Amino acid sequence: MGTPAVQDPQSIFDIFEVLPTGVRVRCESVAGLETAHRALELQAKRTRNECLAVCAATQQVVAQRNTPTPAPHHRGRMFQVAYTRALGFRRAEELLRHGFRPVTVVGNEQAQRVLSESSEHYLLFILGHNALAATREEMAKWIRSRYAGARILALNRPHERLASADFNAPVTQPHIWMEQVRRALAQGDDPGDGATGRR
């Protein structure tokens, strides 16, 4: 008898329903991102509660449905590209505390894969700081080629800027970049630059 194929942990996704109390209930586990999107759509049709597709290995939310309507200044979809898992989760928690609900992935490759297979429209992309400038510029250019009108916020080390970003902010000062998040979503498709924005 042949040896059963070993499933890549990165390709297993859990489908959750989020109860009104905020508790996540796992509905099923599926293999493959495309299958996860289909399972998420089916689950979202069965309930009015928010539904999530989560990578089992990394616990990253890769897709959402039935997302609650946010307050007016929080309207708009947000996608975060982190470059370490710990930093991505930490910033996602900070955004959640301020009422934002980002989709977070780690690295350019995963970001491009998730975005290529998603029909969601994102108004704001956040690029983490813990990568080479060339890596972040590559991601910014890829985003611009596919999301016309979207805003890019780069979180930077001291004295660093990402030329292709609409907004630049120091990663060590959350109160500054959180304000940039609000400004970017408020602008929507209307281009504009701030004190730390692109020139």
Transcribe the chain into DSSP letters.
Answer: -PPPPPPPGGGEEEEEEE-TTS-EEEEEEEESHHHHHHHHHHHHHH-SSEEEEEETTT--EEEEESPPPPPGGG-S-EEEEESSHHHHHHHHHHHHHTT---EEEESHHHHHHHHHT-----SEEEE-SSS-HHHHHHHHHHHHHH-TT-EEEEEE-TT---TT-SEEEETT-HHHHHHHHHHHHHHTTS----TTB--
| Predicted confidence (pLDDT) per residue in 59-69, tens digit | 778 888 887 65
Where do the domains of the chain lie, and which CATH numbers do they carry?
9-67 (no CATH), 69-189 (3.40.50.2300)
74 has pLDDT over 80: no
pLDDT at 41: 94
Rounded to the nearest integer, the mean pLDDT of the chain is 82
pLDDT of residue 190: 45
What's the whole-model pTM score? Answer: 0.62
Whether residue 138 is predicted with pLDDT greater than 60 in this model: the reply is yes
The per-residue pLDDT for 68 is 66
